[in-house]
Amino acid sequence: MEYLIHIAILVCIYGILGLSLNLVIGEAGLLNVTQAAFYGMGAYGAALLITNYDINFFLALLGGIIISAFGSLLIGLVLSRFRGDFYALGSFGFNVIVWSIMLNWQDVTHGPLGIPGIARPALFGFTFSENLTFLILAAVFLALVYGISTFITKSSFGRVLKALREDEEAISVFGYATSYYKLVTFVISASLAAIAGALFASYITFIDPSSFSLNESIFLLSIVILGGLGSSRGAVMGALFLIVLPEALRFVGFPPDVAAQMRQMVYGLILILLMLYRPQGLMGTFRM
């Protein structure tokens, strides 16, 4: 039972990350490969406030959001000037920079040693120490982020993002400041990713830079693409699929000496087949 609860918590955390990244990629059409950096900013921001200043999780969460939003604002001011492949390459570079700071700024982040002893959330004297209660908290945050994401996509702002995705030059002709919309979306996306970072840090009670590398950004990109671009439900389904599938393959009776390799092969084959026969993703309406 505890194992299933653990998987469900991870699905909630990665569902939040998928929803946050879908705003940038699925709605605005911007190929962003730096989401793990903001995930990490939120995690480190909350972890440092909790461990160094004994601040309540929910206030530390707010602090992590502010740190991530400020960092994304600085990065977004640069990226909003780019388009297409240059935007993707710029975000790629920034992810490497932020990860390197987490790894090497040892006076603050403790480098590869990480930050241990991160307290679980507490509210009005109740501590979410049990995994089941933490799952309920994570599910509440997932629902909140889903609501925010849905509200944005259905608003007039979201309609501009869809037009930006289809043809940035055409919408700029009508007087829309495309760089402004890209920047705002980028900051909102990073702020939502920080929520997942704070939840992850508090759940695991330990973080280090390895959880926020470029590989993590690519994994988050896979969640959005597999779930379906431009679909909030697809972002959650993508997280569910990519978290549960590798775990489910553990229970397939492969020979012990090749079990790990066989799981990876089957996992890769399933993803390839999905991309061949469902290129728009599980619940998407258009291709990347």
Alpha helices in 155-228 (DSSP H): 156-166, 168-173, 178-204, 214-227
Q: What is the pTM of this model?
A: 0.93
Cβ atoms of residues 68 and 45 within 8 Å: yes
Query: Cα–chain-centroid distance for residue 126?
Result: 28
pLDDT at 259: 67
DSSP 118: P
57-111 tens-digit pLDDT:
999 999 999 999 999 999 999 887 777 778 888 898 999 999 999 999 999 999 9
Quote the strand ranges of the chain, DSSP E: 115-116, 122-123, 126-127, 206-207
Sole residue written with tokens 């926020």: 212
CB proximity list for 109: less than 8 A, separation 6 or greater: 44, 101, 102, 103, 115, 209
Low-confidence ranges of the chain (pLDDT < 50): none
> Are the CB atoms for 117 and 205 separated by under 8 Å?
yes
SS3 sequence of 54-78? CCCHHHHHHHHHHHHHHHHHHHHHH
Q: Are 34 and 98 in contact (CB under 8 A)?
A: yes
The pair of structure tokens assigned to 199 is 């939840």
What pLDDT, on a 0 to 100 scale, did the predictor assign at position 125?
87
How much is the pLDDT for 286? 60
Burial class (CB in 10 A: 0-12, 13-18, 19+), 120: middle
